[in-house]
């Protein structure tokens, strides 16, 4: 009975946090009745998908209109996977072509991310009151993260990838590989930076099952099947699997490793993966919104990562490597030739970092207490 009351108290705290987060989100982003930063690409691609891919008559274009970008009226953003645009398209279809319609899914995912972080932090510590406290602090650290805050408020891809990736991590560490595999595919369908997560995913599968068949099914088969099913509309649009692969997957890989995402002279907007640890050149999205990073938490992440290996805790190892793998992916992209990277990419892995830092410190405190 006492445990139930403790859980209830923390659930109330989580609900209050989510309500406050939602309120601040609405009053900050709802009044901006125009495109914010790279929103010029994704809501327009979603709108065009309704007409060109799904052959659905979209709602009339509002006074906001198309942005002044070349070929924007037929652009469907093949440089990135389609899921986020699918979701935006649904909201645009029912609500009209308004900023609140294309941003609302991001706001919802931001709220849901706090809930997932709570239960993930609670699972990692797995100790009554301490578990609940780790969970609420994990959710709070994400809520206070400046990069996640900006990216969850606008209609970019990163919050989609970030949410589905941490959801996959949660299901994986709960030993639910089927749901983890589906969520991993949804992350991959949101942004290609999630592709590399297959490596920590397979590592942890090896911890929970020795069956090669099970690892192949859950680690490769389920994500691949889910990815293919959601790609079917685009396969039909491009006329064949080969046409789809050439126009999206292959084109995307080549685009990701080349410069040109922004002019190289825009040095104040460009930052390297190692710059992110010191908040160098935070990306400016307009309207006094910057994709600022949190150097304190990021440096603490570097310091605490060895703890997972010292404790030989496979769940902690998977959590920190979940984030490091994405960061390493950006480093590889940089080495291969793309020197136009941006600070808002930090949102792709920052929720996993926030949860890891909190839970690793709780684990450290538990170990010290045991040693005493």
How is 298-366 classified by DSSP, letter by letter?
HHHHHHHHHHHHHTT-HHHHHHHHHHHHHHHHHHHHHHTT-----GGGGGGTHHHHHHHHHHHHHHHHH
Q: Any residues with CB less than 8 A from the CB of 82 and at least 6 apart, and which?
A: 49, 76, 189, 230, 231, 233, 234
pLDDT tens per residue, range 296-350 = 999 999 999 999 999 999 999 999 999 999 999 999 999 999 999 999 999 999 9
Q: Is 102 exposed, middle or buried (0-12, 13-18, 19+ CB in 10 A)?
A: buried
How is 28-92 classified by DSSP, letter by letter?
HHTT--S--GGGGTHHHHHHHHHHHTS---PPPP-TT---S-TTGGG---TTS-SHHHHHHHHHH
The DSSP 8-state label assigned to residue 59 in this structure reads P
How far out from the chain centre does Cα 17 lie?
20
Q: What are phi and psi of 54, to 5 degrees?
A: -100, -5
Pairing of strands 289-291, 283-286: antiparallel
- Residue 275 confidence class, pLDDT cut points 50, 70, 90: very high
254 has pLDDT over 60 = yes
Q: What are phi and psi of 131, to 5 degrees?
A: -65, -45
3 state DSSP class of 32: coil
Considering the entire predicted model, what is its pTM? 0.95
What is the spatial distance between Cα 209 and Cα 224, in angstroms, rounded to a whole number? 20
pLDDT tens per residue, range 106-121 = 999 999 999 999 999 9
pLDDT tens per residue, range 128-183 = 788 899 999 999 999 999 999 999 999 999 999 999 999 999 999 999 999 999 99
pLDDT value at residue 212: 87
């Amino acid at each position: 009975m006492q445990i139930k009351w403790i859980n209830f108290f923390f659930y109330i705290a989580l609900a209050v946090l989510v309500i406050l987060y939602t309120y601040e989100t609405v009053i900050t982003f709802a009044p901006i009745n125009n495109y914010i930063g790279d929103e010029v690409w994704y809501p327009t691609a979603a709108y065009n998908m309704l007409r060109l891919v799904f052959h659905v008559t979209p709602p009339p274009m509002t006074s906001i209109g198309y942005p002044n970008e070349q070929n924007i009226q037929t652009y469907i953003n093949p440089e990135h996977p389609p899921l986020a645009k699918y979701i935006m398209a649904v909201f645009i279809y029912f609500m009209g072509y308004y900023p609140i319609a294309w941003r609302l899914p991001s706001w919802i995912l931001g709220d849901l991310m706090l809930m997932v972080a709570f239960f993930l932090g609670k699972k990692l510590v797995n100790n009554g009151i301490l578990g609940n406290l780790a969970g609420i602090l994990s959710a709070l650290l994400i809520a206070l993260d400046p990069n996640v805050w900006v990216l969850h408020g606008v209609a970019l891809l990163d919050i989609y990838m970030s949410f589905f990736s941490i959801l996959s991590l949660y299901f994986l560490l709960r030993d639910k590989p089927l749901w983890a595999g589906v969520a991993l595919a949804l992350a991959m369908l949101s942004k290609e930076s999630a592709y590399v997560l297959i490596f920590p995913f397979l590592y942890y599968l090896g911890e929970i099952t020795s069956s090669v068949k099970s690892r192949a099914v859950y680690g490769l088969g389920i994500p691949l099947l889910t990815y293919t099913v959601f790609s079917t509309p685009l396969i039909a649009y491009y006329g064949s699997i080969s046409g789809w692969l050439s126009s999206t997957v292959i084109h995307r890989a080549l685009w990701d490793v080349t410069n040109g995402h922004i002019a190289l002279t825009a040095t104040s907007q460009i930052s390297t993966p190692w710059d992110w640890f010191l908040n160098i050149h935070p990306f400016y999205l307009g309207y006094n919104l910057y994709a600022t990073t949190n150097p304190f938490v990021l440096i603490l992440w570097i310091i605490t990562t060895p703890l997972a290996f010292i404790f030989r805790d496979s769940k902690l190892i998977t959590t920190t490597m979940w984030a490091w793998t994405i960061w390493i992916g950006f480093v590889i992209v940089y080495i291969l030739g793309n020197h136009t990277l941006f600070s808002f990419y930090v949102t792709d892995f920052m929720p996993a970092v926030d949860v890891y830092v909190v839970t690793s410190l709780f684990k450290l405190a538990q170990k010290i207490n045991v040693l005493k």
